[in-house]
Amino acid sequence: MLVDGQISGNPEVEISGVSEIQNGEMGTITFLGNQAYKKYMDNTIASAVIVSNENYLSGRDGIIVENPQLAMAKVLSMFFSDEYNSKGIHPKAVVDASSSIGNNVTIEAGAVVEAGVNIGDSTFIGANVYIGKNTKIGSRCKIYQNVVVYHNIFIGNKVIIHGSAVIGCDGYGFVKDKEQYFKIPQTGTVLIGNDVEIGANSAIDRATIGKTIIGNMTKLDNLVHVGHNVHIGKRCLITAQVGIAGSAKIGDDCILAGQAGVVPHIEIGPESIIAAKSGVTKSLSGGEMYGGYPARPIKEQHKRDAIYSEILNIRKKLNQLIQNSTKN
């Protein structure tokens, strides 16, 4: 079975699509992955529901799996197959004769591929993409419209880069010289591993010297900024509006929630979770959740928040006592 689950109810029910549980439609399958949506189970008219517990079905037709969200992802992939068909090189694309273009590659109108570029098999290059000199892009990649990839960048296989992202721009490096700033030449590169996804309008700076590295299977959301010489490990999830300053190191399997910030030259250990809007100002050992500014173990942060709230309540009561005593 596609989702490796157990059928409950009628195994012959016909499914022709997918719908949301709160907007279920006859003939479709939906899923219950978040208990906040359990309230819709009684009224959804979807023909089947993917759940983690048979009791949630209350007699409905469905499939019981360990991870409903993963199962639904597989079902969506079946109904909405992302089959790739090469369209070749558009006549209005500009491809330097010294570049190496693999088999079944699509390069859409307005794209510019500079000298010495190497593009692997079955890769898609969208309209108005710019790829700088001597950059190497692996096979089965998707570089969507208006992406800019600077010179001497290395991109692995099965990488997805969404619209208007910029890879390999200069890192933010300046040295003050009396009354002006001297720009530090940014001479390094960016190395992006396999199965990486980079969201729209994100920016990954090239290293000053050496490499900025994004590890295999790491996923960046929209509007993420990765500074020069940053090293991000494997299988990390970096959500929207996260900023990671230069030379920071992020271990494997880390999660950085929305608008979290990381100062330069620190290390975040593997399997760390950085809560939304937290500021990481010193190295963290990893293996737990951190929150606040400066970021600290989340339990400690919650205690501090509770103490602060209690102090505010005490202060309010004290002000009332002072006001009452003044009136008397």
Same-domain pairing of 66 and 117: no
225 and 275 belong to one structural domain: yes
Collapsing DSSP to helix, strand or coil, 26 comes out as: coil
Residues 183 and 264 in one domain: yes
* Structural domain boundaries enclosing 26: 6-79
User: Does 328 map to a domain?
Assistant: no
> Is residue 70 domain-shared with residue 197, that is, in the same domain?
no
As given in the structure block, the two tokens for residue 189 are 């590169």
Q: Which residues, in sequence order, are bridge partners of residue 226?
A: 204, 244
The model's pLDDT over 234-282, given as tens digits with 9 standing for 90+, comes to 999 999 999 999 999 999 999 999 999 999 999 999 999 999 999 999 9
Average pLDDT for 72-98: 91
Overall average pLDDT of the 161-179 stretch: 96
Do 56 and 192 sit in the same domain of this protein? no
Residues 249 and 159 occupy one common structural domain: yes
The answer to whether residues 70 and 136 belong to one domain is: no
Check which CATH number belongs to the domain holding 32 and give it. 3.40.1390.10
pLDDT of residue 75: 92
Say yes or no: 189 and 293 in one domain.
yes
- Out of 79, 107, 132, a domain closes at 79
pLDDT digit string, tens, across residues 198-245: 999 999 999 999 999 999 999 999 999 999 999 999 999 999 999 999
Residues 104 and 174 in one domain: yes
My answer on whether 239 and 130 are in the same domain is: yes
Looking at the domain assignment, is residue 144 inside a domain? yes
**Active site (annotated) includes residue 228:** yes
Please list, in sequence order, all residues whose beta carbon lies within 8 angstroms of the beta carbon of residue 234, skipping any fewer than 6 positions away.
193, 215, 216, 217, 218, 252, 253
CA atoms within 13 A on the CB side of 211: 13
The catalytic position among 162, 228, 231, 265 is 228
Alpha-carbon distances of 250 from 213, 278, 281, 297, 324, rounded to whole Å: 10, 15, 13, 17, 55
pLDDT tens for residues 12-68? 999 999 999 999 999 999 999 888 999 999 899 999 999 999 999 988 999 999 999
